[in-house]
A and B are shown apart, each in its own frame.
Chain A
Amino acid sequence: MDKELVEYFRAQMRKDPDMASAVAAIRTLLEFLKRDKGETILGLRENLTWATDCLTGVDSSVAVSSGGELFLRFISLTSLEHQDLSRCKKVMEERGELFLEKISMSRTKVAKLCHTFIKDGAKILTHSYSRVVLRVLEKAAAEKKRFSVYVTESQPDSAGRQMAEALRKLNVPVTVVLDAAVGYVLEKVDLVIVGAEGVVESGGIINKIGTYQMAVCSKAHNKPFYVVAESFKFVRLYPLNQQDVPDKFKYKADTLKTVQNLSEEHPIIDYTPPSLITLLFTDLGVLTPSAVSDELIKLYL
């Protein structure tokens, strides 16, 4: 059963490499719902939770687990008082399609909100490869703004080079810098924009390792630090510091399964506290870090 699930998920990822992994996960969950042969609503819910856990085992990013949980909440947030289970399932499926539609529009909404903050002649610093940031910069370029971008190389997977390639295709002048050169380059830039893998309850973010460093340096230089994230990345975690982030998010899924001693592994994400973030751009609007908790309460309660 789970093999099918994983296969479908991987197929979705391959079909559209531009899609966020969370969206692929949600598509998979929707398909799973359609094919589910459960007899009760409770059973259905349990199966969906199990499926989400399964997918987190494949791709351990925060967004997959948050997206799955939000999906489950969204589809059950309607009256399921019908007598017939199949009718209930139909309602849930419709809600699921609606949810998918909403979140596929989210990146466009974010880009529309954020591109106005990029002024003509701006120098932007960004970290690693983020598709949301790419979309924002695309929109800004389409609005005939002239800007240049510095991208960190972002080891260990050199995702920054991928970002640089994509930006060159947009005819945006781009420079790749070392991760260690963030402090050096910050005096030249005007603003910093990063994506997020997850937005936590305190208003902080979880993102590729090196983001926290960048946030601390931009605070020291008094440069605005902007985060762009879709709303399905809001997750019910509340880390107090770097140690408090659960291990299942810190390392890649394969590493978690194979390696015995995790203390020898390098974590691939870090936590940036809300005090270092200026603004968050989401499809729910432009939020300050303290407003994130408000939105989360609305989403989850």
Chain B
Amino acid sequence: MADSGVTDGPNKKDEIERVKSEGKDLTKEEKQRLRKEKKQQKKNKEKKDDKASQESEKEKKSATSAAPASQPPTQLPAQKAPSAVPAPAPVPVPASEAPAPADKPAKSKAELKAERRARQEAERASKQGKKGEVGQQAPQGKSKAPPSELQPVVKRLPEHIQVDNPDVLKKLAKKLERQQTPGYNAATKIPLRSDYGYKVSLFSHLHQYSRKAPLTQQLSIPSTVIHPAIVQLGLQYSQGIVAGSNARSVALLHAFKQVIRDYTTPPNEELSRDLVNKLKPYISFLNQCRPLSASMGNAIKYIKKEISNIPSQCKEEEAKSKLLNCIDCYINEKIVLAAKAIAKYSIEKISDGDVILVYGCSSLVNHILCEAFEKSRKFRVIVVDSRPRLEGREALRRLVQRGISCTYVLISAVSYILPEVSKVFLGAHALLANGYVMSRVGTSQIALVAKAFNVPVLVCCETYKFCDRVQTDSFVSNELDDPDDLIVTRKGKTQLEDWHQVDSLGLLNLVYDVTPPDFVDLVITDLGMIPCTSVPVVLRVKNVDQ
């Protein structure tokens, strides 16, 4: 009986190995089969080892003691589990005519030790084999690993960068279903937004949404599940009406304030737990409209912490006003006051006669330049802009309105204009834990060229944008914007309008890129001026404070 199980096993194993080597995903049934077989194998292993130990003890009595005992273990480590199973089979099978349970009392300590060692070797070898198979499954993003001490720690990959894995998408859809409040039927679940158009293969693991039709036409958003303020916010994000990381965070916090104002605790529920659960579907919805930024993530973490810290005896009105107060404080401290502090430090670095280069539209950098102009520093600004967003025009408008003399160039002219420049001021979307700066695409290009011309590069960033993530390239985690934005009509001709028809053509509209810390000379934060490599120190100090 045990042998039949053994002979079936290797065949199924080969089949599964073949399927895997062809690159196909294992179906659910195959996986279940695999799990059952492993359990069977383990049981067989125990039986075989028992037999092996009995036989080895018997053989030790008659002939050379260690040789047969070492035979199964030496064979086992050399082969994988499937083929290792039949290996001990020939050893005990021929000698199974006369098992000797009666000989047990005559075992000596050394023999016991040898048996134990042999059993351990056998188990270790079988586990090695299993580890090899599971190691192949792990990169496909499965978070469940069969329990085994030798298992390497499998890290779970975040879902937003596994868009090309159908299983992960299915999981996400299920999660969205589960997040609706109980009591509502399946028709009112949060919709899943579908991707648009051909994705360039390097970035196929990211979402790419279209902005042509407003979101309400693409999805049916159940208004009973999602608060209208959040729906409004989501629409504003998806259409690009609210853009820029500070603006998005502040809008998010204001929307959450509205949600908290309209919230009533259901009976038999605690505010601290129920409100957090209420916020989860909203956050998933907003993530569908536009992927969350690092600053928004930190703001959400803060709110969730504040909500769960509300004591249970607190009355609802009191708790709500406390939360609203907290949110106001957060906006005031981390954004408004931080901007003032950063402006104060930056003004020290702007001297008379400076030519400052800025890229795109960063609310913080604009604020700094306006403040410096108020403090009667004499400088002029060069605004660098790039397609398709052309955000530099907004920055230009704001600066010229104040009376600052500006020059406007496109990013292709940056190496032409840099010999005139004395300093480069850049804004940041997030600062990563290894010192890399994540910012609008094109920033790392400007930093690189500035380094080549030995022009100091200063990055201005509030501390609430510091995040614990580590990234060394712009591929792993990014955002893909609507590819149709790249289509432009000049002189009545629209060149790329039929790009869908051409099979080998893909349009890529990246939003962010990462700049290495070697290109950045100084980071100005509300805590002071720090070198780019000291970001983890600030994160550590912040965590200690909290």
A associates with B? yes
- B-contacting 9-mer, from A40-48, A161-169, A289-297: A289-297
Pick from A240, A297, A301: contact of B423, CB under 8 Å: A240
**7 A-B interface contacts by CB (under 8 A):** A201-B529, A240-B456, A240-B521, A243-B351, A297-B534, A297-B538, A301-B541
Residues of B within 8 A of A297 (CB): 530, 534, 537-538, 541
Residues of B within 8 A of A202 (CB): 521-522, 531
Pick from A203, A241, A244: contact of B531, CB under 8 Å: A203
Complex: A294 Cα to B537 Cα, angstroms? 6
Evaluate whether A201 and B349 lie within 8 angstroms (CB atoms) in the complex, with A241-B456, A297-B541, A301-B541 already known: no
Complex: A274 Cα to B533 Cα, angstroms? 12
A201 touches B530 (CB 8 A): yes
A293 touches B456 (CB 8 A): no
**CB proximity of B120 to chain A, nearest CB, Å:** 46
Over the window 214-256 of chain A, the binary record of Cβ atoms lying under 8 Å from chain B Cβ atoms (1 yes, 0 no) is 0000000000000000000000001011011000000000000
Pick from B456, B531, B538, B541: contact of A201, CB under 8 Å: B531
Which chain A residues (249-301) contact chain B, with CB distance < 8 Å? Answer: 274, 290, 293-294, 297, 301
Complex: A240 Cα to B456 Cα, angstroms? 6
Complex: A240 Cα to B351 Cα, angstroms? 12
**CB proximity of B516 to chain A, nearest CB, Å:** 13
Residues of B within 8 A of A244 (CB): 349
Residues of A within 8 A of B522 (CB): 202, 238, 240
Interface size class of B (residues with CB under 8 A): 10 to 19
Interface hub of B351, B458, B533 (most chain A Cβ within 10 A): B533
Pick from A203, A240, A274, A301: contact of B349, CB under 8 Å: A240
Pick from B456, B458, B533: contact of A290, CB under 8 Å: B533
Residues of B within 8 A of A201 (CB): 529-531
Residues of B within 8 A of A240 (CB): 349, 423, 456, 458, 521-522
Interface of B is mostly: mixed
Residues of A within 8 A of B527 (CB): 301
Complex: A301 Cα to B534 Cα, angstroms? 14
Pick from B351, B423, B529, B534: contact of A294, CB under 8 Å: B534
Closest chain B residue, CB of each to CB of A202: B531
Residues of A within 8 A of B530 (CB): 201, 293, 297
Which chain B residues (314-337) contact chain A, with CB distance < 8 Å? Answer: none
Residues of A within 8 A of B541 (CB): 297, 301
Complex: A240 Cα to B527 Cα, angstroms? 18
B534 touches A238 (CB 8 A): no
Evaluate whether A290 and B531 lie within 8 angstroms (CB atoms) in the complex, with A238-B522, A240-B521, A240-B522 already known: yes
Complex: A238 Cα to B458 Cα, angstroms? 12
**CB proximity of B436 to chain A, nearest CB, Å:** 14
Evaluate whether A293 and B349 lie within 8 angstroms (CB atoms) in the complex, with A202-B522, A301-B541 already known: no
Residues of A within 8 A of B529 (CB): 201, 238
Which chain B residues (449-463) contact chain A, with CB distance < 8 Å? Answer: 456, 458
Using A293-B537, A297-B537, A297-B541 as known contacts, list a sample of 19 further A-B pairs with CB atoms less than 8 Å apart, ordered by residue number in A: A201-B530, A202-B522, A203-B531, A238-B529, A240-B349, A240-B423, A240-B456, A240-B521, A240-B522, A243-B351, A244-B349, A290-B531, A293-B530, A293-B533, A293-B534, A294-B534, A297-B534, A297-B538, A301-B527
Closest chain B residue, CB of each to CB of A297: B537
Residues of B within 8 A of A274 (CB): 531
Closest chain B residue, CB of each to CB of A236: B528
Residues of B within 8 A of A293 (CB): 530-531, 533-534, 537
**CB proximity of A13 to chain B, nearest CB, Å:** 32
Complex: A156 Cα to B487 Cα, angstroms? 65
**CB proximity of A66 to chain B, nearest CB, Å:** 16
Complex: A167 Cα to B66 Cα, angstroms? 72
**CB proximity of A294 to chain B, nearest CB, Å:** 5
**CB proximity of A44 to chain B, nearest CB, Å:** 25
Closest chain B residue, CB of each to CB of A201: B529
Residues of B within 8 A of A290 (CB): 531, 533-534
Interface hub of A201, A240, A243 (most chain B Cβ within 10 A): A240
**CB proximity of A237 to chain B, nearest CB, Å:** 9
Residues of A within 8 A of B456 (CB): 240-241
**CB proximity of A298 to chain B, nearest CB, Å:** 9
Over the window 427-470 of chain B, the binary record of Cβ atoms lying under 8 Å from chain A Cβ atoms (1 yes, 0 no) is 00000000000000000000000000000101000000000000
Which chain B residues (525-546) contact chain A, with CB distance < 8 Å? Answer: 527, 529-531, 533-534, 537-538, 541
**CB proximity of B452 to chain A, nearest CB, Å:** 14
Closest chain A residue, CB of each to CB of B454: A241
- A-B pairs, top 10 by smallest CB distance, nearest first, are A240-B456, A290-B533, A293-B534, A238-B529, A202-B531, A294-B537, A293-B531, A297-B537, A240-B521, A293-B530
Interface hub of B423, B527, B534, B538 (most chain A Cβ within 10 A): B534
Complex: A89 Cα to B531 Cα, angstroms? 37
**CB proximity of A216 to chain B, nearest CB, Å:** 12
Closest chain B residue, CB of each to CB of A288: B533
Residues of A within 8 A of B537 (CB): 293-294, 297
Complex: A301 Cα to B525 Cα, angstroms? 14
**CB proximity of B530 to chain A, nearest CB, Å:** 6
Over the window 135-171 of chain A, the binary record of Cβ atoms lying under 8 Å from chain B Cβ atoms (1 yes, 0 no) is 0000000000000000000000000000000000000
**CB proximity of A36 to chain B, nearest CB, Å:** 30
Complex: A119 Cα to B538 Cα, angstroms? 38
Residues of A within 8 A of B423 (CB): 240
Complex: A290 Cα to B532 Cα, angstroms? 9
Over the window 354-372 of chain B, the binary record of Cβ atoms lying under 8 Å from chain A Cβ atoms (1 yes, 0 no) is 0000000000000000000
Closest chain B residue, CB of each to CB of A240: B456
Residues of B within 8 A of A241 (CB): 456
Over the window 157-189 of chain B, the binary record of Cβ atoms lying under 8 Å from chain A Cβ atoms (1 yes, 0 no) is 000000000000000000000000000000000
**CB proximity of B500 to chain A, nearest CB, Å:** 48
**CB proximity of A220 to chain B, nearest CB, Å:** 16
**CB proximity of B38 to chain A, nearest CB, Å:** 48
Complex: A294 Cα to B533 Cα, angstroms? 9
Residues of A within 8 A of B538 (CB): 297
Which chain B residues (254-298) contact chain A, with CB distance < 8 Å? Answer: none
Complex: A297 Cα to B544 Cα, angstroms? 14
**CB proximity of A246 to chain B, nearest CB, Å:** 10
**CB proximity of A280 to chain B, nearest CB, Å:** 14
**CB proximity of B175 to chain A, nearest CB, Å:** 40
Closest chain B residue, CB of each to CB of A298: B537
Residues of A within 8 A of B534 (CB): 290, 293-294, 297
**CB proximity of B137 to chain A, nearest CB, Å:** 40
Complex: A232 Cα to B495 Cα, angstroms? 65
Complex: A244 Cα to B541 Cα, angstroms? 29
Residues of B within 8 A of A203 (CB): 531
Complex: A244 Cα to B521 Cα, angstroms? 13
Complex: A301 Cα to B529 Cα, angstroms? 13
Closest chain B residue, CB of each to CB of A290: B533
Residues of A within 8 A of B458 (CB): 240
